[in-house]
């Protein structure tokens, strides 16, 4: 009789998301663990784009590129932690 395989590593609840650096056009803007946090960071910094920015996730960071518009001064700036 076969026994089910069990992964020997920590459970999903025990694993904390790795924080990665966020770059827009080779400029470091902060750190995030998920794409949701990346978008929250961009909103917090008031960064706007024409169309949607293109992005990729690598082992050490999130990399975005796109046609930026000037920073939005309409909304007060909040820290990215307020958007989590």
Number of domains within the chain = 1
With respect to residue 6, please indicate whether it lies within any of the assigned structural domains: no
Cβ atoms of 61 and 20 closer than 8 Å: yes
Does 71 fall in a domain?
yes
| Residue 70 within any structural domain of the chain | yes
| Residue ranges making up the domain that contains 66 | 17-83
Structure confidence by residue, pLDDT tens digits, 26-48: 899 999 999 999 999 998 988 88
Q: Residue 9: inside a domain, yes or no?
A: no
Report which DSSP code applies to 33: S
Q: What does the pLDDT read at residue 19?
A: 94
Which one is predicted more confidently, 3 or 37? 37
CATH of the domain at 59: 3.10.20
Between 27 and 1, the more confident residue is 27
Residue 34 domain flag? yes
Give the residues across from 65 on adjacent strands. Answer: 54
């Amino acid at each position: 009789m076969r026994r089910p395989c069990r992964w020997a590593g920590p459970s999903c609840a025990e694993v904390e998301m790795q924080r990665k650096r966020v770059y827009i056009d080779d400029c470091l803007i902060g750190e995030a663990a998920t794409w949701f946090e990346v978008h929250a960071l961009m909103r917090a910094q008031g960064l706007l784009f024409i169309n949607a920015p293109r992005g990729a996730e690598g082992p050490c960071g999130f990399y975005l590129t796109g046609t930026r518009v000037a920073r939005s001064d309409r909304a007060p700036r909040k820290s990215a932690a307020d958007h989590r």
